[in-house]
Amino acid sequence: MNCKNCGQQIDDKAVICPHCGVSQAVDSGGIGWSLLGCCIPLAGLILFLIWKDTKPKSAKAAGIGALVAVGLGIVFYVLMFALGIGASLYGV
């Protein structure tokens, strides 16, 4: 097979190209990484930072999952704050 980066002929079972050093692993960017990032935002951020150059699709999925979790957390706390103020203003 040929390297997906430099095009040189390499062994079919090679994980890293011996000519350019680029990984030959397939980057699927599956929804599993998004779910992991959403459930554990810190893990999503760490995976994004580690994989942003080597596995861009998976990194993006993990990063988006982490951003969604943080965004939902902010919306939740804003709503709770607003409901708390509303309850105290109207004597509920």
**Domain locations in the chain as residue ranges:** 31-89
CA 46 centroid distance within chain: 8
**Which pLDDT belongs to residue 29?**
78
pLDDT in tens, 72-92: 999 998 988 888 775 666 655
Structure confidence at residue 1 (pLDDT): 83
Distance (Å, whole) CA 47 – CA 60: 9
pTM: 0.66
pLDDT in tens, 11-49: 888 888 888 888 777 777 788 999 999 999 999 999 999
